[in-house]
A and B are shown apart, each in its own frame.
Chain A
Amino acid sequence: MIALAESGRVYENEPILFSPVPSRLALHQLMVLPSRPGRQLKVNVWRNHSIEPLLPLCAPYFAFAGVEVDWWLSAYDDSLCFAGHQQAALELLWLDASSHFAKMSDHECVTWLRGRLFALRRASSAPIVVVCLAQQVDRTRMLAACVESVGDAYWADIGVRCESAGRPVVDQRSASIAGTPLNARMHALLARDLACHWIAGAMLPPIRAVVVDLDNTLYRGVLGEDGACGVELTVGHIALQESLRALRAQGVFLGLISRNEREDVDTLFAQRTDFPLHLQDFSALEVSWGDKAAALMRLAERLRIGGDAILFLDDNLGELVEIESRLPAVRTVHAMADAELTARALNYYPGLWRWRTTAADRQRIADFAANEIRQSVLDSCGEGIEYFRNLAVRVTLVYGDRRQVPRLAELCAKTNQFNMTLKRLTEANLQALMADVDVSVCSISLSDRLTESGIVGVLVSSRHGNRLVVEELCISCRALGRRMEDVMVLGALHHLPTLDKCADIAFPVVAASRNAPARDWLKQTIGLPVRPGSGVYVAPAKLVTDFCPPPGIILETLL
């Protein structure tokens, strides 16, 4: 057993966890091993059939992700009255449609479920995941659409999963002892889906970048010894490279760290046109003979993401141990000799799979590339009017548009570096705030001649007498570093309908290790002597009322 004494991460478990069909016995044997304490999250399970056979099989996957789940299980309740509800990080509806729903027409079923979901939504702002055994295809589609019409709610399709595994959904043979007709031969596969995709995709912060080694990771062989034409692209490595490309298309950065000569790496990608990956697919490269941990730190800084948003793949266990020791927040996966196994580990890594890919996600890679160009414009024009005119920068402020709530909630959930109060407002929270006349919710969009970045910021403010309070302020990291923070924030405050007759503006701050950029901006903007810690910082409203965007920037508002 290869165990890292300090961190407890055991790479030898990966072949068990990510085998094509996980063995129930092997998963049980993993459970008896000590695991490192993880982040604790509570999940409420509202059900009308048993989920207990799957929960022990989920545990090794949650342990792999560094998460401890505290399951709260409701009584079996066909009516879904949500009795005894208490707050949790996620609401899981675990339903067998063959009992209760079978008596309803399609219309009755959809109407009933929508009513129950909105009732749950009134009680809880947590994400809702619905996993339902429903064998009628048309009804399944209607129920899925119904669930997805509720904010921050997701439908997990068991039928599609079973079909792809070539196994029936139900097995009445075991229904009486197991308390569920769900086919026992699907339990291990569905436990993996539940832990690594359905729950992780709704609850865990997303992984923003996958950084890979080259030799014996993206191909079999060593570039420096075998040469560009001598390294072998196996079927498994094709699958791995294609998985990486698919992640890139969803807005996950790809990074490359390799101990090789840069010239050899350039030649490799130029000559190996059979590789699914191209050199330009990588947003950041660190090719040198230096220290990989230091290279990873430089890469993270360049991508403007924290270590806990990075997943690092390497075939060398020594390198992984070194990264774990020096950068404990970085996630790691051992790139195995069987690259199909590695591809599956990537596909199932908790935090990589997301329920939805938004336009903002798909735009992320292009935005980053555009930032590199912006830097060169800055280097040639210097800061000032010419820089903004060259780029034709436009900031658009929209106040109170409910259609933008999903994107604004995504910003609140995902933004770490420029996030002033870390409130993590959900879609339900934002909808409720928009209904309050003393509260303003503003979206901030950014574009220039290089990219349409879309909505990159959210500012939520409330008026208390003659004081304006900035309740939440988040700006996406891809909008940072463009010299636009003042325009976005002060511009959004300047045009607030609720600013009228305010004497001062309060900035509550919750200090965390990751939001130093937000706090540094506040320090500079309102003239604090040091970077602010947690507390409330007040500035005169004049700071905002007198604000005027620099020439060269177009600032437009939609109230």
Chain B
Amino acid sequence: MTNAPLLSTELLPIFRAVLRRDFAFEQDIRRRETVQWDSLRHIELMFAIEDHFEVQFSEHQLATLDSLYAIAAALGELRAP
């Protein structure tokens, strides 16, 4: 079981800072529903997350992860012992 809820809480400040929007807690953030989440901000978001959590997503993940919960789940797997 991943600690996705905790990661969502840790991820939220990054989403807020990069996308420049005050998202509410406990709801998913989806790229297709967020006008600020364009291609440039997506790059910034993914790199900021990698930098903050000291992980590296795969090339496929970098291109396809498109929601807060999906990113949280992927992070959980990367950080699992």
Instruction: Assess whether A32 is in contact with B20, with CB atoms less than 8 Å apart.
Output: yes
Question: What is the CA–CA distance of A32 and B18 in the complex, to the nearest angstrom?
Answer: 9
> B13 contacts A25, CB within 8 Å?
yes
Which residues from B are CB-within-8-Å of A24?
Answer: 44, 47-48, 51-52
Within 8 A of B (CB), among A8-62: 23-25, 28-29, 31-32, 52-53, 56
Q: Return chain A residues, CB-CB under 8 Å to B63.
A: 176-177
Which of B26-34, B54-62, B68-76 lines the interface with chain A? B54-62
On chain A, which size bracket covers the interface? 10 to 19
| B42 CB contacts on chain A under 8 angstroms | 177
Number of B interface residues in the complex (CB < 8 A)? 21
Complex: A31 Cα to B59 Cα, angstroms: 28
Q: Closest CB of chain B to A180's CB: distance in Å? A: 10
Contacts of B7 in A (CB 8 A): none
Q: Are B59 and A173 in touch, CB under 8 angstroms? A: yes
Q: Which of B1-55 contact A (CB under 8 A)?
A: 13-14, 17-18, 20, 39-40, 42-44, 46-48, 50-52
Give the secondary structure class of B's interface: helix
Find out whether the CB atom of B43 lies under 8 angstroms from the CB atom of A53.
Answer: yes
CA distance A2 to B43 in the complex (A): 31
Q: A52-B40, A184-B47 are in contact. Are A174 and B13 (CB under 8 A)?
A: no
User: Considering only CB atoms, which chain B residue lies closest to A55 in the complex?
Assistant: B40
- A25:B14 contact, CB within 8 angstroms: yes
CA distance A52 to B51 in the complex (A): 17
If the complex has contacts A28-B18, A32-B20, A173-B58, are A178 and B48 also in contact, measured as CB distance less than 8 A? no
Q: Does A185 contact B (CB under 8 A)?
A: yes
Contact A184 B50 (CB under 8 A): yes
Q: Which residues of A contact B56 (CB under 8 A)?
A: 173
CA distance A315 to B54 in the complex (A): 33
Please indicate the chain A residues that have their CB under 8 angstroms from the CB of B17 in the complex.
25, 28-29, 31-32
Chain A residues near B52 (CB, 8 Å)?
23-25
Which residues of the other chain, B, contact A173 by a CB distance below 8 angstroms?
56, 58-59, 62
> From residue B75, how far is it (CB to closest CB) to chain A in Å?
14
Give every chain A residue within 8 A of B14 (Cβ-Cβ): 25, 28
A188–B62 alpha-carbon span in the complex (Å): 19
Contacts of B20 in A (CB 8 A): 32
Contacts of B39 in A (CB 8 A): 177
How far apart are the CA atoms of A188 and B51 in the complex, in Å? 10
Contact of B51 among A23, A56, A176, A177 (CB under 8 A): A23
Contact of A187 among B47, B59, B62 (CB under 8 A): B47
Q: In the complex the two chains form, what is the Cα distance from A181 to B52 in whole Å?
A: 20
Q: How far is the CA of A24 from the CA of B46 in the complex (A)?
A: 11
Q: Which B residues touch A176, using CB under 8 A?
A: 59, 63
Q: Which residue of B lies closest to A184 (CB)?
A: B47
A185 touches B51 (CB 8 A): yes
Q: How far is the CA of A90 from the CA of B23 in the complex (A)?
A: 39
Give A32 to B43 CA distance when docked, in angstroms: 18
The answer for the CA separation of A389 and B52 in the assembled complex, in Å, is 68
Using CB atoms, name the residue of chain A closest to B41: A56
Residues of chain A from 160 to 200 with CB closer than 8 A to chain B in the complex: 173-174, 176-178, 184-185, 187-188
- B13: chain A residues at CB < 8 Å are 25, 29
Interface residues of A (CB under 8 A from B): 23-25, 28-29, 31-32, 52-53, 56, 173-174, 176-178, 184-185, 187-188
Known: A56-B44, A177-B43. 8 other contacts (CB 8 A): A24-B51, A25-B52, A29-B17, A32-B17, A53-B43, A53-B47, A173-B56, A177-B59
23 residue pairs from A and B, CB less than 8 Å apart: A23-B52, A24-B44, A24-B47, A25-B13, A25-B17, A25-B52, A28-B14, A28-B17, A28-B18, A32-B20, A52-B40, A53-B44, A53-B47, A173-B58, A174-B43, A177-B42, A177-B46, A177-B62, A177-B63, A178-B47, A184-B50, A187-B47, A188-B51
